[in-house]
Structure 1
Amino acid sequence: MLAQRTVMLKSSATAAARSAAKAAAARGKEIIDLTAGEIWSDLASSVREGAIDAINCNVNRYTETLGLMELRHALARKISAETAQPWSADEIAVTSGAKQALFNATMVLLNPGDEVLIPSPYWTTFPAQIVIAGGTPIFVDTRRNNYVPRLTDLAAAITPRTKAIVVNTPNNPTGTVYDRDILAGIATLAVERDLWIIFDECYGSFVHAPHSHDPIISVAPRARERTLIVNSFSKSLALAGWRIGYLAGPNAVIDAVKALQSHTTSNPNVIAQHALLHHLGTKNPTFQLRLQRHIANARALGLSILSALTLVPQPAAQGGFYFYLDLSDLQMRTKANGRKLDADDVVSALMDAGVATVSGTAFGDPAGIRLSFGIDLELLDKGLRRLTATLNELTFCFARHL
């Protein structure tokens, strides 16, 4: 018999969408994959040099559980500059990507039955890890407010069991960027109601004008003692496969994370740590700026193509590298076999047309789909034109395929 907790677990829906795209391609179908949360890019030369130097120096030993002290100092300097607050290495844990940082946070914060507020649509891992830790995710719908949570809705969702709120900006999947007013309001609510803030800013390097990314504690310094910052280099340095990220927070939390991590993964990959340390030491923003230009160009291209959609409004795509399409109007006007379509139906039709996307049902939203524009521009152009044509002809498409 398996453990009871396995009943509550499902594989990541975004990973399942990638797998479905690969399976279709393996069967010989041409698939343009818009599912992955990663950027198609070469390595930064500074990252490559740091990794090669470490390998040439025969680096192969354990580091401290929470990562190289030199790297933690470098990350503390980075976070200090970003938040306008002083940080020390003792407040930083280097982790195997943002997922481990989030897992560590939920495991050291939550007791069985504790509730955590999650604005919806949400990244699939947030509720899954809360459940693993014995907590209860409480979803706060944002769809009627342009995917921004209303403070009144958040306040109404708080109960005596509420322990934390997840703040993810720029948001995955919607691409929404929370402005300073909403961040200040969330911080005030957390302080007044004694809540932790889990602040996921993994897409903070990609914010599109006129919007800007603001760390919540730079907006509300008094929330610092109850805020955990989660970040990674999967997006900002296009290092998704390297699995390197960090958690920043109060000393007591980081001490507890150290004890937990010592019994799970121990230290993150040592070569990735040295590569990142070398990159941070160069203080050369050239690669990140080039990556940001690529994403900005991809966004502009995509918005131009998606402007031809007739039943789907153009996505805002304020930050990150996703287009999140609201299918509500299309669903109201288009039915398949006498029923209203959901996002899974649309994703299936798009797969038939050779475009792989992620259904909003993965994110708690049966009326949305997520498209990544982190891929090659030529493929993006081709894929979005296919998608636009398919959605504009959806009545006929579903008559054929459902």
Structure 2
Amino acid sequence: MTDSIYIRPLGFVPGPQAEHGNAIRLAGGMVYASRFAVILRRDGAVAERWLAAPDTMAEVLGHLPDTVAADAESQWANLTLAHPALELGARTVQLDQPQVMGILNVTPDSFSDGGKHDDVETAREHAAAMVEAGASIIDIGGESTRPGARPVWEGDEIERVVPVIEVCAAMGAAVSVDTRKAAVMEAALDAGAALVNDVSGLTHDPRSAEVVAARGCPVVLMHSPGRGEDLHEGGDYDNVVFDVFDELRNRRDEALEAGIDASRILLDPGIGFGKSLAENLLLINALPLFHALGHPLLLGASRKRMIGALGKEEDADNRLGGSLALALKGMDAGVQLARVHDVPETVQARNVWRGLRDAALTDFSDLPG
């Protein structure tokens, strides 16, 4: 018999005063949660489910089986954990509010912007425009990971990304490298990248965890079901939310065992990677649960196929509205990083969202008149 426990935030309020202080600040950000489901899973099936508020959580946790008690206490502590800022070269990225990561693909075949930024000058201009628009990080990738994409030899990938990383770092941008290969990670970090974004969660290349640990850089561990060249294969889930949560925890634990510091790990549920439309929607609606793992979250849903499916739009370049809807959904869930193609529009939406959140801390019922 195998037991596992999950604490899912369910109820959200504009600020703690709405519940007379009986709410938590989720992951140290701008979202407040007041109601939670404590879910006991036994041998893959939900066995029990309790509802709790902050003032009743201790009582609920006190009745849990010994097999999950320690994990439940850790998850509850993680939900209120404020994460330190990311130190990315000369840039500091605060994680107490949502930040925007701009996508810069230097590939001929990426699903949305393939071939648009192949030369260094065009890529530099696009990166500069994203930074000017408010992107906190520029994520540079040299291999498409769309379904059916052919793998790229690491030497070719290095030739694509290194010159672009160098010019972006030279202009003062915080740069991450989107790669699953250790040699590309090394070359990118030498060129000025400060963060590794690995869509395989450090499982594709046996040296990658060693490289990240040795360099001491932050790393994004994304969930993808495929362990070979095709990251989309093998997406067979009993319950996609619990299964992705468990797998991200496993990949996090493997990273810790490899010597990567916990404060340098970020997690990404991998929207669109080996998941159906229904599974992607379940994951997005359950995003607050993933704060229980105790790490900042990244959401990469920009222009993805699910938007086309829901909005009946085949052209990836015409999915701005859906991309903004998903980015805002992530912000409502307390996600710290939104990885997007459309930086100016997302930053504007984020700024309005942030203004509303700030204003909500003043309870209108307490105002005179």
TM-score past 0.5 threshold: no
TM-score by length of 1: 0.28
Q: Greater share of strand residues, 1 or 2?
A: 2
TM-score by length of 2: 0.29
Higher relative contact order (CA 8 A, sep 6+): 1
